[in-house]
Amino acid sequence: MCTSLKPTEPSHALRVVITGASGEIGMMISYMIAKGDISGKNELLDLVLYENRSKMKQLKGAISELGTCNLGKVRSFHATDSLMEAFSNADVIILVGGLWAAPGYSRNDLIGVNALEFKEVGLVLSKVAKETVKILMVVEPQNINLMVLSYFAPNLKPCNLTGLSRVDHNRAQTMIARMLQISCDKIAHLTMWGNRSLNIFPDIRHAKIEVCGNLLPAYEAIKDDFFLKYKFTELLQNREADIIKKRKTNGCHQTVASAAVQHIKDWMQGTKPGDWTSMVVISDGSYGIDKGLAYSFPVKVSKQGEWEIVQDLDINYYEREKLDERVNEIKTERMFAYSILELPEAKQEIEKDEECAVDQARATKWSFGHTDPVPCSILGPLEQERLGSM
């Protein structure tokens, strides 16, 4: 005979934390996760939504609404303005709260303010993070914020930390799919290298497209080398600004939210067999990228949720240059963040850079000049028409 009227629930639920949860992107991510977009078949969720104290009223309102959506996967909702409380025992942490690149803010403003924020986040994580926690950095610039966080939470290992480069990965995949009038899942082996900036470097040369059951190199399937080499990157770089202008909005919230949720799902359940995705991870020195630098690589994830960098892609001279440009950009921004935080590494890097500058000046005498082999051209009306509807 049943002696209790309380229904039984499994004792374990996945504890997922979202910061900046009452913002545009945080709200969308919360909804997608609450309806089960990242959880396994029978997995329940405890959803912890963190906001600044000044936003608690809005957050509680947002939770009231989510709570009436009949989203079957959620066992509990919890709102908090305490990082310590939010991060304790968390299985997944999605960091969305932070300053964004609103008009009037420079990239350096963004780096400076967010560096101070992620110092605090790192310090709290160093005290309460679970050994197995999965942390996704959504706030820009993801690479720098991730390195700051990791500096102040040295107990976290690279396997705990990733950043979002899936936004541009998804955009590139969708743009190719629309060009060929096929579904996105027919496109594999795309990579966004480095960081998310106006100089994003998409790698289409290694991409494959499924045609009649066979995987063809993208260049062979698309048959427009000029477009792929010289115009695709430019289009991708302008994609966000284009959408924002057309929609008269301040950001591509759906794009970022769905990329973040897909990133977490892949990280928890594994990438598609035979394919990979793009993730910002802490470099182990692969492809000659400095060890310890947060950098977007081709990454595959096992069914057990362990990521690894895809190895042995051949990198040509032009790609090498682009990869190294990204490294230099990230290192310069890291140095700026470290100097705001008055870290000893900033001083050391400045000294090292000064030595390098002297060495370079000496070496210039013997080096021969190199110019970028890719001219950056403006789109012709035909391409604009062709891509206008994407």
Binding mask 90-109 for ligand NAD (x = CB under 6 A): ------xxx-x---------
Q: Is 17 in the site for ligand NAD (CB under 6 A)?
A: no
Q: Quick check: 161 and 282 in contact, CB under 8 A?
A: yes
Q: Helices 142-152 and 317-340 meet at what angle, rounded to 10?
A: 50
The pair of structure tokens assigned to 2 is 């049943």
Going 68 to 70 to 76 to 82, the CA torsion angle's sign is: negative
User: How many residues sit close enough to ligand NAD to count as binding (CB under 6 A)?
Assistant: 25
The pair of structure tokens assigned to 329 is 């950009």
The side-by-side arrangement of strands in the sheet containing 45-50 is 74-80, 45-50, 14-19, 92-95, 134-137, 161-163, 277-282, 294-301, 307-309
Q: Which stretch binds ligand NAD (CB under 6 A): 16-24, 186-194, 215-223, 284-292?
A: 16-24
CB of 332 to ligand NAD, least distance (A): 19
Closest Cα partner for 47 from 74, 7, 72?
74
Annotated binding site for NAD(+): 20-26, 114
CB of 166 to ligand NAD, least distance (A): 8
Nearer to ligand NAD, 39 or 195 (CB): 195
Nearer to ligand NAD, 14 or 25 (CB): 25
CB of 108 to ligand NAD, least distance (A): 14
- Residues in Cβ contact with 205 at an 8 Å cutoff, skipping those fewer than 6 apart: 217, 218, 219, 316, 319
Q: What are phi and psi of 134, to 5 degrees?
A: -110, 120
**Cα–Cα distance for residue pair 57/22, rounded to 1 Å:** 10
Closest Cα partner for 258 from 29, 100, 26?
29
CB of 118 to ligand NAD, least distance (A): 9
Q: What letter represents residue 214's amino acid?
A: N
Binding mask 49-68 for ligand NAD (x = CB under 6 A): --xx--x-------------
DSSP annotation string for 16-68: EEEESTTSHHHHHHHHHHHTTSSS-TT--EEEEEE--GGGHHHHHHHHHHHHT
* CA atoms lying within 13 Å on the CB side of residue 24: 11
Nearest residue to ligand NAD, by Cβ distance, number only: 23
Nearer to ligand NAD, 100 or 151 (CB): 100
CB of 264 to ligand NAD, least distance (A): 13
Q: Which stretch binds ligand NAD (CB under 6 A): 15-23, 207-215, 330-338, 375-383?
A: 15-23
Q: Is 256 in the site for ligand NAD (CB under 6 A)?
A: yes
Nearer to ligand NAD, 32 or 44 (CB): 32
Helix (H) or strand (E) holding 93: strand 92-95
Nearer to ligand NAD, 197 or 286 (CB): 197
CB of 331 to ligand NAD, least distance (A): 20
Q: Quick check: 193 and 283 in contact, CB under 8 A?
A: no
Tell me the Cα Rg of the chain: 22
Binding mask 127-166 for ligand NAD (x = CB under 6 A): -----------xxx-x---------------------x--
Q: Which listed residue (15, 19, 39, 282) binds ligand NAD by CB under 6 A?
A: 19
Nearer to ligand NAD, 251 or 270 (CB): 251
Q: Is 20 in the site for ligand NAD (CB under 6 A)?
A: yes
Q: Interface with ligand NAD by CB under 6 A: which residues?
A: 19-20, 22-26, 51-52, 55, 96-98, 100, 117, 138-140, 142, 164, 167, 196, 251, 253, 256
